[in-house]
Amino acid sequence: MSGLGVVSKLGAVLGELGDASVEDASPREARRQALLVAPVRIALGAAGVLAAVSIDLSAGTALAEAGLGAGLTMFTLVAPGGRRRPEQLRPPARPSERGRQPWWRVLAVAMFPSTYGVAVLTAIALVFNRDLAAFLAGVLLGMGAAALVYALTRSPA
Q: What is the DSSP letter of 83?
A: T
Number of residues that make up the chain? 157
Of 125, 145, 144, nearest in space to 135 by CA:
125
Tell me the average pLDDT across 102-111. Answer: 80
> Which pTM was predicted?
0.74
pLDDT digits (tens, 9 = 90+) for 57-102: 999 999 999 999 999 998 888 776 655 555 555 555 555 545 677 8
Instruction: List phi, psi (to 5°) of 147.
Output: -65, -40
Which residue type, as a one-letter code, is found at position 133?
A: A
Q: Are 122 and 140 in contact (CB under 8 A)?
A: yes
Cβ neighbours, 10 Å, residue 155 = 7
Q: Are 106 and 40 in contact (CB under 8 A)?
A: no
Of 13, 2, 11, nearest in space to 114 by CA:
11
Res 124 pLDDT > 70: yes
